[in-house]
Structure 1
Amino acid sequence: MPDVASLALAKGAVVRGIQGGSTQLLQEVTRFVAQKALRMPIEKVFGFTEKEVIEAYDYVASGSHIGKICINVGE
């Protein structure tokens, strides 16, 4: 597994997160998913180019997704 944080810093990348709820809620959901062995559906995977990251952000911002949206930083 590559050290994404170091790679991002080395390239001068700007990383922004999106707040989606409280830490307590995230912990509860994480425990529930682990206990029930639920699989989270991945709706779409984008690459790590500037164009694709912008497309991924716009896709999430549109609110039309149901499953998880991923950005593949490993390639």
Structure 2
Amino acid sequence: MAGGDVTRLAVLIDADNASFAVVKELLDEVAKYGTATVKRAYGDWTTQHLVGWKSVLHKYAIQPMQQFA
């Protein structure tokens, strides 16, 4: 990348259908192509189905976005 330009990427996750267990590997792969400047996970956070995501959201600074079922 010429002149120190950095490719900025957005990572948008469908948390209702993705496993929180692979987030580290996902972000490692994204980092090969640029910097993830926007990281959001969409899901219905009012359900117990996504309870495992809480620590991952904090650890990787992913913004939870409410999407009602």
Bigger Cα Rg: 1
The TM-score, its normalising length taken from structure 2, stands at 0.30
Bigger relative contact order (CA 8 A; separation at least 6): 2
The TM-score, its normalising length taken from structure 1, stands at 0.29
More helix by share: 1
